[in-house]
Amino acid sequence: MKNIHYFQRYSQKENWITNSTLLLFSRFYHLNPQKFEIFINNILLESSSEIEIGLKFSQQIKGLQSIPDGLIKQKDIEILIETKLADNFDVDQLNNHISSFSNSNGIKILLALSTHKPKKEIIKDITSKFKNIKKEKNVKFAYTTYSEIYDTATILLNDSDIEMKSIVEDYYDLCNSEGLIDISQDMMLAVTAGVSLKENFDYNIYYDPITRHHNVPFSYLGLYVNKSIIGVGKVTKIVYCDLIDNELKINNADELNINEIEKNKIKELIIKTDYYDIEFDHKFYLVDKFYETNFIKISFQSLRGKKYFNLNDIPGYKTDLTTKEIAKLLKNKEWQ
């Protein structure tokens, strides 16, 4: 087994990304085993396994025939990592990895690491394909992303953890430079809103023709009117639907868990909107709530069509801010 290194020693990119990830884990563990235990359990949340890190010291533990004075014990843990630079997990490859685990009775977890979490159908396929063999070795499946590793580590570190914070930031820069960080959670799409503005706020829905494409993934919608973004909401669902004979037909229902309240809101909005024909070939962006703000455009021309904002460029922004806090942060700030 090869030791991990501080610097790149591999020609294949997957290998040195894996090496960097293992280095981050190793440094975190040596800095603070207790914090690392919280960190790794958050990363492995999908496996439903509780992992204990490090030695455990006990006294007067009763055995079958005697009571030893002391005991030093460490739980048997194996975590096998499969790293991908793209979202191209191979179910058969993951299945074959199970043979790499030992036959011990300890905790065994197969961790898939990529830019995005695997799609539901892939997870279902993986689970079903190695269902029988995993029983033999008690292997559990988990998945995480480069962004999640960074976010989880950042939350656990204090201001005094200067060196470790520097390592975590360097890991983020490395992953980001290689396009491995999903920035959609920090992206806001500003769209022009006119006569529909009242309905947008009343129903917390924005709509678009299905032919209108947004090439950059985003999590937030900003409503622009009169040289200012006056509302911001976090997108919870994007619903492709038609209203046929007063019945709402959802065309991407398999991808969504949409409830009757949401269906009725969309239907009511369509019926109420008599100034546009949105009964057919439209998608509806449901947001948590459009919060009022006043993000001011100071350049001469008005916004034409749309504009993307990386909220990381806004002083004071953090990924864990609520939508309400983001609206407050943007208020009275300026952009061009």
pLDDT (tens digit per residue) in 58-69: 887 776 677 787
Is the model's pLDDT at 207 over the cut of 90? yes
Q: Averaged over 250-267, what is the pLDDT?
A: 89
Among 124, 142, 177, give the residue marking a domain's end.
Answer: 177
- Is 5 inside any structural domain? no
Same domain flag for 109 and 150: yes
Q: How far apart are CA 129 and CA 56, in angstroms?
A: 36
Three-class SS state of 221: strand
Residue 4 lies in a domain: no
Edge-first strand listing for the sheet containing 107-114 = 77-83, 107-114, 139-145
**How many domains in the chain?**
2
Res. 7: pLDDT tops 50: no
Nearest-angstrom CA–CA distance, 295 and 222: 9
Closest CA to 278 of 326, 177, 208, 187: 208
pLDDT score of 221 more than 60: yes
pLDDT confidence of residue 217? 85
pLDDT of residue 135: 58
CB 97 within 8 A of CB 130: no
Residues 138 and 231 reside in one and the same domain: no
Domain that holds residue 163: 13-177
| Residues 96, 232 share a domain | no
Residue 137 confidence (pLDDT) above 70 = no
Q: Please, are residues 91 and 124 in contact by the beta-carbon 8 Å criterion?
A: no
The β-bridge partners of 152 are: none
Residue type present at position 161: D
